[in-house]
Amino acid sequence: MRAVLQRVTSARVIVEREMVGEIGSGLVVLLGIAGDDTTQDVKYLVEKIVGLRLFDDADGRMNLSVRDVDGALLIVSQFTLYGDVRRGRRPSWSEAAPPEVAEPLYESFVAEARRFVERVATGSFRRMMKVELVNDGPVTILLESRKLF
């Protein structure tokens, strides 16, 4: 499982001109799910994300987590994080989980995140989305639930 985290002052997801998810200050989580991911990957990555100290304390040091600042999460499924472009010019999606595997893990990820963070918004699984955000810093972090070879 891969995630790109972006610290934001605001973010929203629009599907077919309708806003489906919106947050103020917090983290946008772009989530990619591999074919062999499990609920163990979900638990590890959620706990890592909600505990990361990516927000500034009173001294301007990144010392606070999204929970510490009462921030929100916007979780967006993004299979393209598993695009392999090592050969040719067109990405291969062979490592990405098929929708019937990815969707239950995505839903599990969202449910697990809601155990730790009060405000969790989402995109729409398997839909074309417009993601708008104001990156704060900018702060962008890449995470994986395990080392991939």
Q: Is 125 a catalytic residue?
A: no
Catalytic residue among 78, 109, 122, 140: 78
Residue 46 and residue 109 in contact, taking contact as beta carbons nearer than 8 Å: yes
Count of Cβ atoms closer than 10 Å to residue 114 Cβ: 14
44 three-state secondary structure: helix
Nearest-angstrom CA–CA distance, 123 and 40: 23
- Distances in Å between the Cα of 138 and the Cα atoms of 3, 12, 55, 61, 99 are 16, 17, 11, 14, 31
Q: Is 109 a catalytic residue?
A: no
Q: Is 79 a catalytic residue?
A: yes
Catalytic residue among 80, 109, 125, 149: 80
What is the distance, to the nearest Å, from the Cα of residue 138 to the centroid of all Cα atoms in its chain? Answer: 16
Catalytic residue among 6, 55, 79, 109: 79
Helices assigned H by DSSP within the chain: 39-51, 99-116
| Residues involved in catalysis | 78-80
